[in-house]
Amino acid sequence: MTTIWAGLATGALYSLVAIGYNVVLLASGVVNFANAYLIMIGTFLAYVCLVDWGLPVAAAIPLTGLAVAVIAVVEERIAIRPLLNRQGGHAALITTVGVGTLLGGIAAKVWGTEPVRVPSPFSAEPLTLLGGTIQRNDLVLILLVLALGVGLHLWSRRTLLGLASLATAENRQAAQARGLNVRALGLGAFALAGLIAGLFAVFVAGRTYAHFHLGETLALFGFVAIAIGGSGSQLGGLIGGFAIGLLYAVTARYVGDSYPQIVVFAVFLLILLTRPRGLFGGAAERQV
Amino acid sequence: MTTLSASRENPPGGNPRAGNTAVPALLRGGRPLAGALLTILVLVAPLLGLNDYWARTVLLVAILSLQVSGLNIVLGHAGELAVGQVFLYAVGAYVTGYLGVSHGITDAGVIVVCAIACAVVVGLITGIPGLRLGGWSLAMLTFFLVLIIPNLVKVLESFTGGANGLAPPVPTLFGTPLGRDALYMLIVAVTAVWFLVARNLILSRHGNAFLVLKQSPVLAGSLGVSVFRLKLLVYVTGAIPACLAGVMFAWLDGFIAPETFTFTMALSILAASIVGGSTSIYGALAGAAIVQLGQQSFSSFQDWQLLIYGAFLLVAGILLADGLTGLVRGRARRIVRRFGVAAPAGRSAAPADAGPADLGALPGARLRTKALCKSFGGNQALREVTVEAEPGQVTALIGPNASGKTTLLNLVCGFYRPTSGTVELGGRELGGQRPYRIARAGIARTFQTPLIPSGMTTKAFVATGRYVSHRVRVPAAVLRLPAFRRGFAADDAEAVRLLGLLGIADVADREVDSLPLGTRRLVEVARALAARPAVFLFDEVGSGLDEGDLAGLERAIRMIRDAGGTVVLVEHNFPLVLGLADRIHVLSQGGLLVSGTPAEIQADPRVLAEYTGSNAAGKTIGSEG
């Protein structure tokens, strides 16, 4: 059971990244590769708030959230906005990888290349739950990510803003013609994704430490979560993330330390080969 | 960047032809010679006193440039971002190490062949899943490949030596161990040969097909090209140089450890590709030189490299989405267009005295839809439409906007799958097949908004219509065999001839995307003709044409009909339809309203009501849409 708890906690990280991807994907049609790097920067900013400035957790969390949201908005303005009017190409792919790398470089330059421990808001005393042990921080992380994923799923289906976002993802021009401000939606989506990344950073750091290389792994595993869940499906991404986390933990426990990434990669290949639109995604038709 | 990118219309084998770009023909003819001289110079540099530091630098640039070339082929020509070169680099290095350490195989030739085989296998295993969706899936998949290198090295410790690394022995050639200078020459020679192969592949019809593929998969499909297979071909080809680079790295350093193959290296390759220009052939060399020298010259580069690469990718991605080349080309296009707009007027007399036009026999086939339905969600775009188009006849499809004409066309071409009903070509069921298969079955089409790629001449574009039907295989193109030369010349001659039939032979050597709309439509007709299909689908081919172009078009359509081809004309231009069509089908709100001869349609009150709701005769109908 301890393995399962560990898997769920790791999976929560991947789900969190997948949620961030989906928020932006739904509004802008762009996969924001830098999303995981926003979380990474968030963990360092949380460290600054908690340790350097000695702020209480209740102040550090919203402050980190706002700061990362601002970074995300800046990213949208410089890396995404100039590309929106261009047809085709994968320019956003390159620019968001660029932003992620830049954030990684900044983190390495400012805070060094060694992992930094961020103080957890919870005691280090593990809980015994359903026959396994789990850190309090991890349990909170799992529950919060679950709540966030389900909440966003309902929000996108039930509210006007959520539906508008879905419509924009479906067809930008048509949404624009209906009077939707697609630019504001896109910017809002980046702000929201940044806010989420920042708010959760404290809990993420409680599990992983703050490290400049954190972004790469999270970015890829978060994408596998989307590949499993179907792009744009918040519920699918949530389930995909937890599924990979469990797979990772179980493989690491029963096969060996070197295998989890390889196994996840094999699953990724398999999904792309057999269900390229994800287990929960529908088929899209091409148009002339 | 412009100067680095090779001109696409370089003559194969060096026979200079009239060109369209800024490079004078004379200079272009001399280019292969200059390249050969430069290669020889670099090759013999150690004998001329090149010191060890610079010799090593040259080799590192060569090795990096091979990786960059691998990326360029995929990114610049298939339009897919694949950053797995580092993985292939590792594969090449470990294959060399494993063969040398465990089996005592040191022969350079054997190792190179094994490495190429491994590159193809890895390319297929990762390319087949990755290219099903392409785009982000492929990018992430290849990033992931780089991430799992350390784990794979550890898991396969008995082959790779794990964290301890491997020390491959000195390579041999024909039994002789290679000394320092010989190894230098071998690496330079392999690099030069690769670039020659890449050049020959890209400066061929295949290169033009890659361009189409990158810019418009829809067009590629309707040319009969399987987008997936061609992308896979490009992707696997791009895997080869990266793997070779790994082999040569193993020879050069004589030691392989997993720490070499990092995410940062993948970023440096990407940066070098963008600096040099992803679509250019030799840009890989320039990009690799800049990045390599940057790394060597600044001692603090290591500390700053993430920041440098990140900032670089960001800036380059924004500014160079179309490439610097694109910026310059855009300006050139505006100048050309100023002349281009004036050109058609002077041409209008041409079709009349274009001499006896001969298309030969174009055996058509009967195209038939039966109770064809298509719905998008709850919206029924097409309801139970049964129409026929006979060979040797012009069948027109008319109807107001949103009546389902283009939907019908897209169903026939396979861009949509029918909800129910059938599409038959000469008795053969086509419904639900992929566009490229339908194109190969003998259906060619033009598009409402002409799909015109940039970066090729008009005659090269028209020749893409023959890419599938008159195929020259890749090896023939790479080795510049006689078959390739013959095919290239025949393609050109046919393209010019067809453009002549349409009265626009004068644009054959112009950049095709510099042409005005009316001429583009005619060029698309020529492109469709080049494939010699059984059925021609013309989607609003007459709109936007001036009198002269329209006359050329009418003449061409009559010619196709007389040659026996099946012509389907989707048109708003009512006078054109009345003049050309043997049979007219009128669509309305997704259903077939009425079918008949032009006279019957003209007299039908329902058609009048549908179009105008008034009592006027059918002469002003053509203006909408």
pLDDT per residue as tens digits for the range B562-594: 989 999 999 888 888 888 899 999 988 888 888
Question: Does some domain include residue A110?
Answer: yes
In tens, the pLDDT along B130-166 reads: 888 778 889 999 999 999 999 999 999 888 888 888 9
Confidence of residue B20 (pLDDT cuts 50, 70, 90): very low
Here the tokens at position A129 are 């739950």
Q: Which residues of A261-286 are buried (b: 16+ CB within 10 A; e: fewer)?
A: bbbbbebbbebbeeebbbbbbeeeee
B214-255 per-position pLDDT tens digit: 888 888 888 888 889 999 999 999 999 999 999 999 999 999
**Do B257 and B371 sit in the same domain of this protein?**
no
More confident site: B442 or B623:
B442
Domain that holds residue A27: 13-211
Instruction: Let me know if residue B343 belongs to a domain.
Output: no
* Higher pLDDT among residues B405 and A87, named by residue: B405
Residue recorded with tokens 């250019």: B280
pLDDT-derived band at B623 (thresholds 50, 70, 90) equals: very low
**Same-domain status, B97 and B228:** yes
Residue A93 located in a structural domain: yes
The residue from B227, B261, B295 where one domain ends is B261
Q: Is A216 on the interface with B (CB under 8 A)?
A: yes
Q: In terms of CA atoms, which chain B residue is nearest residue A257?
A: B151
Higher pLDDT, B117 or A183: B117
Write out residues 50-109 of A within 8 Å (CB-CB) of B.
78-79, 82-83, 86, 88-95, 97-106, 108-109
> Who's near B250: CB < 8 A, 6+ residues apart?
B92, B93, B94, B96, B97, B168, B256
Give residue B334's pLDDT.
55
B322–chain A Cβ distance below 8 A for any pair: yes
Per-residue pLDDT at A80? 85
Residue A105: which of B125, B145, B307 has the nearest Cβ?
B307
Return the pLDDT at B325.
Answer: 46
Specify which residues B457 forms β-bridges with: B511
Whether residue B422 is contained in a domain is answered as yes
What is the Cα B519 distance to its own chain's centre? 22
Domain membership flag for residue B462? no
- Picking from B234, B508, B454, the residue whose alpha carbon sits closest to that of residue B327 is B454
Handedness of CA A30, A34, A40, A46 (dihedral sign): negative
Indicate which CATH number applies to the domain containing B423.
3.40.50.300
For B565, other C-beta atoms within 10 Å of its C-beta total 28
Among the ranges A55-69, A116-130, B443-457, B597-611, which has the highest mean pLDDT value? A55-69
The CB-side HSE value for B223 (13 A sphere, CA atoms) comes to 33
In this prediction, residue A83 carries a pLDDT of 80
pLDDT in tens, chain A (288 residues): 888 999 999 999 999 999 999 988 888 778 899 999 999 999 999 999 999 998 898 899 999 999 999 999 999 988 888 887 665 557 788 889 999 999 999 999 899 888 888 888 787 778 888 888 888 888 999 999 999 999 988 887 787 777 777 777 667 777 777 777 778 888 888 999 999 999 999 999 888 888 888 888 899 999 999 988 887 788 889 999 999 999 999 999 999 888 999 999 999 999 888 887 776 654 444 444
Provide the 3-class DSSP secondary structure of residue B73. Answer: helix
The side-by-side arrangement of strands in the sheet containing B428-429 is B379-389, B367-376, B420-425, B428-429
Which residues, at least 6 apart from B268, have a Cβ–Cβ distance to it below 8 Å? B64, B291, B295, B305, B309
pLDDT given for residue B320 in this prediction? 63
Does B232 share its domain with B377? no
Burial of B212 (0-12, 13-18, 19+ CB in 10 A): buried
CA distance B423 to B430: 5
Residue range B548-567: average pLDDT?
88
pLDDT band at B50 (very low <50, low <70, confident <90, very high): confident
Q: For residue B113, count other CB atoms closer than 10 A to its CB.
A: 11
User: Between chains, do B143 and A220 touch, taking CB under 8 Å as contact?
Assistant: yes
Nearest by CB to residue A98, choosing from B129, B317, B321, is B317
State the DSSP code for B374.
Answer: E
* Number of domain units in chain B: 2
CA distance B207 to chain A (A): 18
Best B83, B267, B305, B314 member to test A by mutation, with max A CBs in 10 Å, is B314
Is residue A148 a part of any domain in this protein? yes
CB pairs < 8 Å spanning A and B: 150
Q: Is the pLDDT of residue B26 over 50?
A: no
Q: Is residue B26 part of a domain?
A: no
Burial code of B602-621, b = ≥16 C-beta within 10 A, e = fewer? bebeebbebbeeeeeebeeb
Integer Cα distance of B93 and B180 in angstroms: 19
Over range B312-325, report the average pLDDT.
Answer: 68
What are the backbone dihedrals phi and psi of residue B446, each rounded to the nearest 5 degrees, phi first?
A: -115, 170
pLDDT in tens, B57-110: 999 999 999 999 999 999 888 888 888 999 999 999 999 999 999 998 989 999
Look-up of token digits 């470990």: B94
Q: Which domain holds residue B601?
A: 362-456+521-623
DSSP string, B110-147: HHHHHHHHHHHHHHHHHHHHHHHH-THHHHHHHHHHHH
In a domain, B438, yes or no: yes
Burial A132-148 (b: 16+ CB within 10 A, else e): eebbbbbbbbbeebeeb
Assess whether pLDDT exceeds 50 at residue B622. Answer: no
Contact status of A158 with chain B (Cβ, < 8 Å): no
Residue B132: CB atoms within 10 A of its CB come to 17
CA distance B62 to A171: 45
CB contact under 8 A, A109 and B307: yes
- By the CB < 8 Å criterion, does B328 face chain A? no
- Domain assignment of residue A207, yes or no: yes
Report the amino acid identity of residue B610. E
Please provide the average confidence, as pLDDT, over all residues in chain B.
Answer: 82
Chain A residue numbers with beta carbons less than 8 Å from the beta carbon of B79 are: 88-90
Answer yes or no: is pLDDT of B262 > 60. Answer: yes
Judge whether A17 lies within some domain: yes
Which of residues B239, B261, B283 is at a domain's end?
A: B261
Beta-bridged to residue B624, according to DSSP, are: none
Q: What is the pLDDT of residue A288?
A: 40
Let me know if residue B321 belongs to a domain.
no
Instruction: Give the residue from B238, B261, B284 where a domain finishes.
Output: B261
Separation of CA A174 from chain center = 28
Could you tell me if residue A74 is inside a domain? Answer: yes
The reported pLDDT for the residue numbered B326 is 47
Q: Give the integer Cα–Cα distance in Å for A200 and A206.
A: 10
Higher pLDDT, B350 or B465: B465
B600 versus B339: which is more confidently predicted?
Answer: B600
Q: Percentage of chain B with pLDDT > 70? A: 87
Domain count, chain A: 1
**Residue B39 contacts residue B192 (beta carbons within 8 Å):** yes
Contacts of A227 in chain B (CB under 8 A): 137, 140
